[in-house]
Amino acid sequence: MIRVLIADDEALMRSGLRMILEAQADIEVVGEAGDGAEAIRLAKELAADVVLMDIRMSGMDGLEATRRLLATQDSARVLILTTFDLDEYVYEALKAGASGFILKTVPADELVRAIRSAAAGDALVSPAITRRLIEEYIRKPTPSTTTPDRFAWLTDRELDVLRLVTQGLSNAEIAEDLFLSQATVKTHINRILTKINVRDRVQAVVLAYESGFVVPGTGNPPPGTSGRPPP
């Protein structure tokens, strides 16, 4: 059962989200919060698996709440609720550790899929839109001919997996592409996250773009990147 906390300062929005989610056999809405401070308190108190976090709330907003919550709550996953996809606040929330974002106008089935995906940690939520958002706000670095330091100690296979993660592929899709088992892919991803010191695959993608490991607008590594550790 996926335990969900809804954080939004509009009671009508919270009620609508609750109605959609409580119709799912594998999702339980454990609480509602009207601002960021309450979201932090309830997420910890109720052991929420996924927090639906409105980015713009009165009092403490969703960005600050995400930062504070994820600084102390490793197991929680935050999905940002927003009315506008190309929103700098959303990008900052992804950098802070949010697992993805969804527009408030999405169909109910897409909302449910996003929550399940965030809870499983299996794939980016709305990968095409997420990549577009990241590319919109990163400082575009000059392409390098060497692997950035944060990625230098990844093996060739781990680099292959990371590049597919940046494309938004699920574990099953990566396994099929690289002729690996899903369990092996999951192991590779866990090792990648540990080696580059990020908590989630979304933060791995943000770092990959910001460091120049993936060239904005192409989804590919810079020309000549070896992917091998220095001697």
pLDDT tens digits, one per residue of 203-216: 999 999 888 888 77
- For 2-120, CATH gives 3.40.50.2300
pLDDT band at 225 (very low <50, low <70, confident <90, very high): very low
CA nearest to 23, candidates 81, 122, 121, 109: 109
Q: What's the pTM?
A: 0.86
Task: Return the sign of the alpha-carbon dihedral for residues 36, 38, 42, 45.
Answer: positive
Q: Does 137 have pLDDT greater than 90?
A: no
The answer to whether residue 176 scores a pLDDT higher than 60 is: yes
Distances, alpha carbon 102 to alpha carbons 41, 46, 79, 81, 183, in Å = 23, 23, 7, 5, 28
Two tokens, residue 176: 């099929």
Secondary structure percentages of the chain, helix, strand, coil, to 5: 50, 15, 40
Domain ranges of the chain: 2-120, 143-231
Nearest to 82 by CA among 73, 71, 90: 90
C-alpha 41 chain-centroid distance = 22
**Hunting for tokens 């002729």 — which residue is that?**
179
Judged against a pLDDT cut of 80, whether residue 227 lies above it is answered with no
Taking residue 11's Cβ as centre, other Cβ atoms within 10 Å add up to 10
Contact 80, 51 (CB under 8 A): no
For domain 143-231, the question of CATH label 3.40.50.2300 is answered with: no
